[in-house]
A and B are shown apart, each in its own frame.
Chain A
Amino acid sequence: MFTNPSDIVITEPILPIVPDAAWEAEVKRVMGMVPLYMRRIAPSPWLRGVCMDWTTYQFDALPRRLADIGFLVTSQENSCRYCYGVARASMRLLGYSEQLITRIEREAQLAELDPGERAFIAFCRNLARSNPRPSRAAREELMALGFSPLEVAEMAFMIASYCFGNRITTLLACPPEAALEGLAKGWLGKLLRPLIANQLRRRPLPRKESGRSAATLSPIARALEGLPAAALLQDTLDAAFASPLISARAKALMFGVIARTLDCRFCENDMIERLAQSGMSNAAVQASLASLSDPDLGPAEAPLLAWARDTVRYHTLDIQQRTHALLHQIGAERTLEAVGVAALANATVRLAMLLE
């Protein structure tokens, strides 16, 4: 595990920046700035919308401090060069001491944290790493330490959402936000820290209300009932499956592969049911999952299952090289969609594991 973002070696970016003035204006309006990765995902309407909604989600059930620490720890655990660098720089600009950050990165037991925060860090690392996979017992342990069920549900969603973001930027090999990292290290950042911290803490402008009723939630999203995250997750899943660039069958199989890699029967069965509704027999699904291939997928979708499996646990450089290979096989548009689906599946399955 890396303890310094600059130690993480990455490839050239998988996809170029695509200028889109209207989109960038919308990002700036909501977030107050335009993160570089938002420009790379601009060509995918569903993915860019989801990324903005997830990035600006307010974890109101939890103290801000946990959200900051969670972003750092999850990004470090996922060896995400982009997010780890952003998390570290943001924490410095928000006023966390270098000493505290270093201790969280290296040895949380030595950091000035309370037992609940230490348990939260361990939970972040376990869920992000998922080897061995955590389960319902991990949630119950946190509740025994005094966290409410709603807080634990939000923690799980928080880590899942960071895992999602980590995979988007890692799989696309997004270069670091050099300006932000430089600002955090330089004298100007120190001088302007209160102003910058104020800007970073600013609540993003609301985008849209989901207006979804609990009855329309899938069992996985229902695990987050009581939080705005429940509707957000369901909207995201629906948007991902509705996009036509990759077939729903291939996407469901990608989810199934990721569920099987993480040994999540709950999600695997959910996807088998979804595929059955679209006419794929149980035997055919099992054969596809066992062989990481499906005879009914065309050449533009055939490589997706083996690649999806590699997105669960990876070495940053290796997975980026594999994603470059995928780009050559299936093209830029589908690669971007595949990155979004794989990131979403990794987040969703990690969340679902806690239900088992």
Chain B
Amino acid sequence: MTTALSIALALLAAGLAVLLLRARARNRGMESLLADRAERLERLETEFGRFAPSAVVEQITGTMERMASGRRCVTVMFADLREFTRLCESTDPAQTVSMLNGYFECMTRAIVAHHGHVTQFIGDGLLALFGALEPNPWQAQDAVSAALAMRAALADYNLQLAARKLPELRFGIGIHRGDVIVGLMGNQDLSTFTVVGDTVNTAARVEQLTRVHGADVLITEAVREKLDSRFRLTELPPAPVKGKEQPVVTYAVED
């Protein structure tokens, strides 16, 4: 009887030990899977940083939710290359891509150095935002300072292009400030962190006015009223723009 009980207890103990070992092995497997997933997520975050600002990526991966959209005051900058389409027709495609990438690199550096971020490259143009990712009381002067830095960076870049016997680039920049809706926009397959609203449209129209006025950097009254005296501006005659009943007053930024 005692022997049978001992055997039963020993079998029970052995069974429990096997179960425990299995559970520990499964636990180790889960731990390793978790560590692997965490590493993959980090790699993904790093890679995804090339497509969206890191703050946006962290917010998405941190909360596992769609980023909350909202309305806020943002300074919007549109920059576009002039006559680039015609230039494309006369230049080798590989050279065109190389020129464009170099240009975007220089412009982005100037924008980021002044607290802005590029949200979209649209053909040969770009859309940059100031004050969209975090509150920025100096967003208007940051945007104008960035535009001046972009002007200087383009001059330097043109020297490099000239050395490679490539044509010179010229740009137009339009800057406007106002309320926009910010958020992740797109569909299940393709989304981007961007802004929508009349402020964005107006900034785009002001950029188009650079051709009318023959100036490379134009700002609106909403931007000008936030600037201090260190910027030298020239008031330009009001000009009609699509979507606006009243002609828009703009200022050329000299330096």
Contact = CB atoms under 8 A, between A and B. Distances in A.
Nearest to B136: A261
B31 A99 contact: yes
Interface string A95-119: 0000100100011001000000000
Interface string B118-156: 000000000000000111011001000000000000000
Interface residues of A, number: 19
Contact of B34 (A110, A261, A287): A110
Interface in B45-87: 55, 58
A161 to B, nearest CB: 24
B165 interface: no
B230 interface: yes
Contacts of A110: 34
B138 A292 contact: yes
A11 interface: no
A139 interface: no
A291 B141 contact: yes
Interface in A237-290: 260-261, 263, 287, 290
B36 interface: no
A1 interface: yes
Interface string B76-103: 0000000000000000000000000000
B235 interface: no
A290 B38 contact: no
Contacts of B255: none
A236 to B, nearest CB: 27
B228 interface: yes
A293 B230 contact: yes
Contacts of B35: 102
A67 B219 CA distance: 50
B58 A1 contact: yes
B41 to A, nearest CB: 8
A216 interface: no
A131 interface: yes
A1 B61 CA distance: 11
Given A131-B55, A291-B141, A313-B134, A3 B42 contact: yes
Contacts of B226: 290
A48 interface: no
Contacts of A293: 228, 230
Nearest to A287: B228
B66 to A, nearest CB: 17
A167 interface: no
B228 A291 contact: yes
A41 to B, nearest CB: 28
A113 B70 CA distance: 33
A131 B62 CA distance: 14
B228 A263 contact: no
A261 B115 CA distance: 12
Contact of A106 (B38, B137, B230): B38
Contacts of B141: 291
A92 interface: no
A263 B135 contact: yes
Given A1-B58, A3-B42, A106-B38, A291 B230 contact: yes
A263 B137 CA distance: 9
A261 B42 contact: no
Contact of A260 (B55, B134, B137): B137
6 contacts: A3-B42, A107-B38, A133-B135, A290-B138, A293-B228, A309-B138
